[in-house]
Amino acid sequence: MTVKKHKYLMIIFLIVACLAAYGRIVTNDFVNFDDPQYITENNHVKSGINPDSIKWAFTSTTMSNWHPITWIFHMVNWSLFGDNPSGHHFVSLLLHIGVCILLFLFLHKTTNNIWAAGFVAAFSALHPLRAESVAWAAELKDVLSMFFGLASIYTYAFYAESSKRAQYLLCLALFALSLMSKPMLVTLPFVLLLLDYWPLGRWQKALAAPKQNRAALICRLLWEKVPFIFLTILSSIVTFWAQYSGGAITSIDRLSFSQRLANIIISYVAYLGKIFLPSNLAVFYPYEYFLPLWQIIFSLFFLIVITVAALYGIKKLPFLFFGWFWYLGTLIPVIGLVQVGAQAIADRYTYLPSVGIAVILTWGTPLFFQKFKIRKKILIPMALAYICTLFVTTWMQCGFWKNSIILWNQDLRVTKNNSLALNNRGNAYIELRQFQKAINDFNEAIRMKSDFVNAFYSRGVAYLNQGQNQLAINDFNEALRLKPDYANAYNIRGVAYLRLGQHQSAIKDFNVAIQLNPYYADA
């Protein structure tokens, strides 16, 4: 069988395997974590593609992000599928399949090793850590960013081969689209420099060139990254501004630099653990503010040893250097030095970094089996068994995204002190009109976190639905004490006052809500 036929068979395998592993998500509902803000309750998205919505997409920092391409895709999805979640999920799955095919095509083109390229692509395609990015409708931005990012990397392989300007400009344009979907790939200039070493070998060629040409070739390798670096800087500034203005960045007063550094060290090792042994996965991992010293020291030692080994073997084992620094570098934007949100780690953050580990695993494991016959007898069954295990685990993980209740039940089963999961499950119970169950969850969330604004607000909503208006007002008062500019709390407290016949108090609250948000139609 020819290489071309093998390539097509591998692509067909990736498509079929992804459809089988993730296919159940098309029967899943939307969940109450970001999906309302991104899709079901976002009037700009629901208005579809029009001049006003396009303008909003490019000027909005809603959800503390600037990602206009993501908003436009959501608008198209809503125009096509409306409030039917199946179509939204299926689009995410198609994009994920595209990511995996692009990864396979890139590695096959640059290494000419079809089976190694296929294993890395299958590993990335079927790993249960991908379930969060693919099965979560609001996380369309993740698969969208990766799709454009991998397309940019694949195009770069063609440019490195031919030096055609059109391919360079296409690579740059795809990078820009990736950043406008989600700024995860801000490290792409660094990735391209790694690719120039392995598998493209451009650094070796430059360093081996005659002395009179060497400096020019090295300067060219660096200079051609400048436009990419410019886009990275621009995207980073816009992202920081959007997250800062949206209140998503945790201040140094609430989370010290030493706490961040300790979490970074442990997180690098924790992500490795989840890549190799994916179990007890959750959509939200609460931040642990007091980490054991022994764990920090062990993790730091582990990271230093592998880093030294990667540098020491840079010539003999270039894939180890490439894969390890790909992993370290591509995690930097989300590792927590600038802490965004309350999570310690997140499964979705491994989408790009895990490729580096897959490369190390794929090219490194055969070195332990020198004889070809032994490799064939042991490695092929091992690889198939591992891929099958990932497939089954991913299929199961997608089931946890069936609806909000199942999702947060799973989070509460595998994590500790998860006040956010309790609050969100409580909100799901409100949707089901199971108000006492909701109140019980909010009570427990507030017990864990006494300043949890959203839990006070949500418990007030539950009390309001039960007709306990004064208890609701008490909770809205507390929410407003903790967050004085909470427009929703003013509006809903106004509703509670209205039910008690306190019309002037109600009007006063509605006025404040409108002052805080002039487009607040309900108020």
CB atoms within 10 A of CB 59: 9
Does the domain at 417-516 match CATH 1.10.150.120? Answer given as no
Name the residue with tokens 């208005």: 47
pLDDT band of residue 246 (cuts 50, 70, 90) is confident
Inter-residue contact 37 to 70 (CB < 8 Å): no
What pLDDT is recorded for position 153? 98
Distance of alpha carbon 425 from alpha carbon 133, whole angstroms = 20
Say which amino acid occupies 131: A
pLDDT band of residue 253 (cuts 50, 70, 90) is low
- Report the sign of the C-alpha dihedral through residues 422, 274, 271, 116, in that order: negative
Inter-residue contact 57 to 75 (CB < 8 Å): yes
CB atoms within 10 A of CB 349: 23
Say which amino acid occupies 128: P
Q: How large a percentage of the chain has pLDDT more than 70?
A: 99
Tell me the C-alpha to C-alpha distance, in Å, between residue 407 and each of 156, 242, 351: 39, 28, 20
**Burial (CB count within 10 angstroms: exposed 0-12, middle 13-18, buried 19+), residue 180:** buried
Nearest residue to 492 (alpha-carbon basis) of 452, 463, 450, 451: 463
Distance of alpha carbon 314 from alpha carbon 35, whole angstroms = 44
Contacts of 382 (CB under 8 A, 6+ apart): none
- State yes or no: pLDDT of 251 exceeds 70: no
- State yes or no: pLDDT of 4 exceeds 90: no
- State yes or no: pLDDT of 490 exceeds 80: yes
Inter-residue contact 408 to 424 (CB < 8 Å): yes
* Cα R_g (the chain), whole angstroms: 25
Provide the token pair at 496: 């509670």
Is 0.85 surpassed by the pTM of this model?
Answer: yes
- State yes or no: pLDDT of 291 exceeds 90: no
pLDDT in tens, 407-446: 999 999 999 999 999 999 999 999 999 999 999 999 999 9
Rounded to the nearest 5°, which phi and psi values hold at 45? -65, -40
Q: Which residues pair with 340 in a beta bridge?
A: 249
- State yes or no: pLDDT of 63 exceeds 80: yes
Inter-residue contact 457 to 475 (CB < 8 Å): yes
Q: What is the DSSP string of 139-166?
A: GHHHHHHHHHHHHHHHHHHHHHHH--HH
pLDDT band of residue 343 (cuts 50, 70, 90) is confident
Name the residue with tokens 């190694």: 116
pLDDT in tens, 87-138: 999 999 999 999 999 999 999 999 999 999 999 999 999 999 999 999 999 9
pLDDT band of residue 245 (cuts 50, 70, 90) is confident
Inter-residue contact 177 to 102 (CB < 8 Å): no
Averaged over 489-515, what is the pLDDT?
A: 97
* Alpha helices (H) along 112-225: 114-126, 131-135, 140-162, 165-179, 188-197, 202-208, 211-223
Averaged over 338-356, what is the pLDDT?
A: 89
Element (H, E) at 59: helix 51-59
Q: Which residues pair with 286 in a beta bridge?
A: 343
- State yes or no: pLDDT of 160 exceeds 80: yes
Nearest residue to 133 (alpha-carbon basis) of 187, 182, 179, 174: 182
The terminus-to-terminus CA distance of the chain in angstroms comes to 68
Distance of alpha carbon 122 from alpha carbon 255, whole angstroms = 38
Rounded to the nearest 5°, which phi and psi values hold at 486? -85, 90
Domain boundaries, the chain: 3-399, 417-516
pLDDT band of residue 309 (cuts 50, 70, 90) is very high
Averaged over 183-210, what is the pLDDT?
A: 96
CA atoms within 13 A on the CB side of 200: 22
- Asked if the bond preceding 68 is cis, omega within 30° of 0, the reply is no
What pLDDT is recorded for position 1? 62
Distance of alpha carbon 242 from alpha carbon 236, whole angstroms = 10
Nearest residue to 132 (alpha-carbon basis) of 87, 102, 96, 165: 96
**Burial (CB count within 10 angstroms: exposed 0-12, middle 13-18, buried 19+), residue 43:** exposed
- State yes or no: pLDDT of 252 exceeds 70: no
Nearest residue to 111 (alpha-carbon basis) of 372, 318, 330, 368: 318
Going by the DSSP 8-state scheme, the letter that residue 128 receives in this structure is G
Name the residue with tokens 């002039």: 518
- State yes or no: pLDDT of 2 exceeds 80: no
- State yes or no: pLDDT of 301 exceeds 70: yes
Burial 190-205 (b: 16+ CB within 10 A, else e): bbbbbbbbbbbebbee
Tell me the C-alpha to C-alpha distance, in Å, between residue 86 and each of 23, 24, 48, 91, 388: 10, 10, 18, 9, 26
- State yes or no: pLDDT of 339 exceeds 80: no
3-state secondary structure of 249: strand
- State yes or no: pLDDT of 55 exceeds 70: yes
Give the 3-state secondary structure percentages of the chain, helix then strand then coil, rounded to 5. Answer: 75, 0, 20
